[in-house]
Amino acid sequence: MKKTLKSISNPDELNKNLQYTSPLTWIILGASVLALAGFFIWSCLFTLKVKIFGDATVKDGQVVLAVEESKKSKLAIGQKVIINDKEGSIISINDNEPVVSEFDLQDGNYTYTIILKEIKPIEFLFNKK
């Protein structure tokens, strides 16, 4: 730094020795800030859902969900069950078989979705487990 200052004998030489930031650097910095802001907003608004899928049989208004043995331990009362865009919930679990709330469906076989967990990506930063 001292060497640079000694080589400057008049104010006109000052511009030669100053470093400047190119417009490309500002564009890259701006794009990075926008990407980080976009990711932060997405992580606050978007919800990730952990789901399991399976087959359901409806007979006489009774809904029977066929759940794989390995997934039965993940079931809990109150979890959302979706069949044909209709929502219900698990109201009890008897002998490891879920009993769901009433669905207004005709007898037959359907595909169900159980939402095990919903989490916002921003929660991964603040999860204290």
- State whether 41 and 52 are in the same domain: no
Count of the separate structural domains present in the chain: 2
CA distance linking residue 84 with residue 105, whole number of Å: 9
Q: In what order do the strands lie in the sheet with 108-119?
A: 62-66, 48-59, 108-119, 80-83, 86-94, 97-100
Residue the block writes with tokens 């916002």: 120
- State whether 31 and 54 are in the same domain: no
pTM passes above 0.75 = no
Range of the domain at 26: 2-45
**pLDDT tens-place string over residues 72-119:** 888 888 889 999 888 888 888 877 677 777 778 888 999 999 999 999
- State whether 53 and 114 are in the same domain: yes
